[in-house]
Structure 1
């Protein structure tokens, strides 16, 4: 069990931990407060749970977000949080902040995200509630100065696949024909993304970033979960967040259920007045922006291992190749990419696995 003395001994070797503990105790007025790690994410932020007296003799729980200013400025998070809250989206409440130091005190929404609680039995209900929050988010008019999910950004993300996964992770030397094959596929995907109606896009609207707010907490949302990890929001393709929700990075669903959920989203988005195209066009848009996202995430997961020393994410890469296998055969424009993956990438993966097992 953590104690103030144990925290002090630990902090002696970690200046950031010492600053975090000191700020927490000062802002809570509790000299015995001990932040205990609650979670981390793929970036540089970390989250710490603190139990402190609530003034009535009971303990309350709060969360400290630690966002080191030299690595991850907290201002974009605060800005997008305010934007989402203004549109009725349920977001974590901010109780105190020190922007320059990179510390926020947040309400504690509990320990479980959708990823922890969703299963085949409750998925319909939870996803219906998630759609409610997503529609609120997409209805918000993007500020004029928010970044566009433009050609440069889309291309930069796609190239993470060949640079970090094919290059750094698999050690592949791509020849001119390989690079042209990838470039042709990337340009097709970019063109399709830019042709979609453009709305506010979360960019990581998936179960791990949704929290089923527990009864008894302040301002409980009756029609959807709390939304997390929204600081990278942009103006972009309307199908991006729906496909991120149903073709998740960390769990997979039968394709038939994904189709049903996408159709439900389309029906509700149409009723909400969002600029969704006719259903058949929307389903194709979702598949293709999904391909862009799957390639990007494969590259990001490789980068997390080789640059950031976070190897656990690579275990989910096969899930994304499964998603690609479902979609690529249906698009003649992506047959070159499909052949490249089948005849070059997958053999390289098997060779790497064989070396690791030897």
Structure 2
């Protein structure tokens, strides 16, 4: 029997859903838990994001901003953020990742809709969020040297790593002003197909870490997905599709796309290793080879020369050939 968090029944009652049936839902890599409330033909989603590990206030802040701008974040039905409770509109079960598993022939249509939703977001003025600045980029990239490298038994030049990233990120930072809202985790597991079909409106979830940064970042998140294979040909086609809907995406944009792809993929390799070593969640290790393969493609871009040189000098060829995988 699955135990329910303390205080759940009381919050649900205060929200007017005290007579609902409660169904626990699978969790993610965080401390958040999710439940579906069912009452007759109605349903709602309950998120428990308890302090001190979680804070739902940023989720609420971003959700209100997105909905005010015409995007489709879930409507907020009730909230007690100090206790970690948020009750929202239920977007249903048609998550883009699962829907495409069942409808692989609709992949291009689904990705076109996801790219168009991102272009619509980028046409809005940047939101009232903190900047995606060099300190954040560096802190994220450093997760690779802080977690993956030690787990692989490597002693590396951490200072050289930081210096290389500072060099390649400088032009990105210069070109990302005034910036756009960056959701930071925009991929097929965080997009809901509200109409239950490939071209349906995109319901957005898991956006609480939004910052103001470069428009290429969420494209990388979508098209170099850590959890789902995206063919390189489809990735290229979707970059062209984005350019059609959001304006030019010339050589500078593609250079920034590769740089942010490398930065994000280095971060994810570190995060997935940390989820295993610190949090006891080894299932994420199986995704590292997919992420590393994308990282290697990004490193081949001339804009990444100094970071690529660091990888050549610090990461053994056999580990790179194995796409960063851990020995069985």
TM-score normalized with structure 2 length: 0.89
Deviation, structure 1 residue 310: 2.0
> Which whole-Å CA distance do the structure 1 matches of 2:190 and 2:326 have between them?
32
Would you say 1:71 and 2:45 are equivalent positions? no
Distance 1:141 1:183, change over 3 A: same
> Which whole-Å CA distance do the structure 1 matches of 2:235 and 2:35 have between them?
34
1:316-335 counterparts in 2 under 5 A? Answer: 316-331=287-302, 332-335=305-308
> Which whole-Å CA distance do the structure 1 matches of 2:321 and 2:300 have between them?
19
User: Could you give the per-residue CA deviations for residues 10-42 of structure 1, whole angstroms, max 9, x where no partner exists?
Assistant: 45xxxxx231133224433534x4422223222
Uncovered stretches (5+) of structure 1, i.e. residues with no partner: 1-5, 12-16, 54-58, 271-275
| More deviation, 301-310/205-214 | 301-310
> Which whole-Å CA distance do the structure 2 matches of 1:258 and 1:60 have between them?
38
Distance 1:299 1:29, change over 3 A: closer
User: Could you give the per-residue CA deviations for residues 195-253 of structure 1, whole angstroms, max 9, x where no partner exists?
Assistant: 333221111111111000036xxxx9x86310111111111112111121111111122
Distance 1:93 1:29, change over 3 A: closer
2:140 aligns with one of 157, 167, 174: 157
Runs of 4+ in 1 over 4 A off after TM superposition: 347-352
Deviation, structure 1 residue 309: 2.1
Bigger Cα Rg: 1
TM-score normalized with structure 1 length: 0.82
Residue of structure 1 in register with 2:170 after alignment: 191
Residue of structure 1 in register with 2:99 after alignment: 117
Residue of structure 1 in register with 2:35 after alignment: 48
RMSD: 2.6
Residue of structure 2 in register with 1:214 after alignment: 195
> Which whole-Å CA distance do the structure 1 matches of 2:79 and 2:244 have between them?
40
| More deviation, 329-338/225-234 | 329-338
1:151-300 counterparts in 2 under 5 A? Answer: 151-167=134-150, 169-174=151-156, 178-197=157-176, 198-214=179-195, 224-270=201-247, 276=248, 278-300=249-271
Uncovered stretches (5+) of structure 2, i.e. residues with no partner: none
Q: Do the aligned residues in 1 keep the contact of 2:145 with 2:270 (CA within 8 Å)?
A: yes
Distance 1:279 1:69, change over 3 A: same
Q: Do the aligned residues in 1 keep the contact of 2:169 with 2:259 (CA within 8 Å)?
A: no
Deviation, structure 1 residue 330: 3.4
Q: Do the aligned residues in 1 keep the contact of 2:32 with 2:48 (CA within 8 Å)?
A: yes
> Which whole-Å CA distance do the structure 2 matches of 1:348 and 1:225 have between them?
35
Would you say 1:92 and 2:74 are equivalent positions? yes
